[in-house]
Amino acid sequence: MNQSHSLTLNDELDGDTLHEECGVFGVLGHPDGATLTALGLHALQHRGQEAAGIVTFDGRQFHTEKRMGLVGDHYTDPATLAKLPGFISIGHTRYSTTGEVALRNVQPLFAELEVGGIAVAHNGNFTNGLTLRRQLIADGAICQSTSDTEVVLHLIARSKQASSSDRFIDAIRQMEGGYSMLAMTRTKLIAARDPIGIRPLVMGELDGKPIFCSETCALDIIGAKYIRDVENGEVVICEIQPDGSISIDARKPEAPKPERLCLFEFVYFARPDSVVGGRSIYVARKNMGINLAKEAPVDADVVVPVPDGGTPAALGYAQKSGIPFEYGIIRNHYVGRTFIEPTQQIRAFGVKLKHSANRAMITGKRVVLVDDSIVRGTTSLKIVQMIRDAGAKEVHIRVASPMIYFPDFYGIDTPDADKLLANQYNSLKAMCDYIGADSLEFLSIDGLYRAVGGEDRDNENPQFTDHYFTGDYPTRLLDKESTSNVRKLAVMASNG
- Please list the active-site residues: 22
Contact 490, 2 (CB under 8 A): yes
- Residue 305's Cβ-side half-sphere holds a number of Cα atoms within 13 Å equal to 22
In terms of Cα–Cα distance, which of 241, 243, 246 is closest to 227? 246
Give, in order, the Cα–Cα distances in Å from 394 to each of 260, 294, 310, 373, 397.
39, 20, 19, 20, 10
Q: Taking the C-alpha atoms of 428, 430, 433 and 437 in order, what is their torsion angle to the nearest 10 degrees?
A: -10
DSSP β-bridge partners for residue 125: 178
d(CA 10, CA 369): 23
In terms of Cα–Cα distance, which of 378, 326, 387 is closest to 355? 387
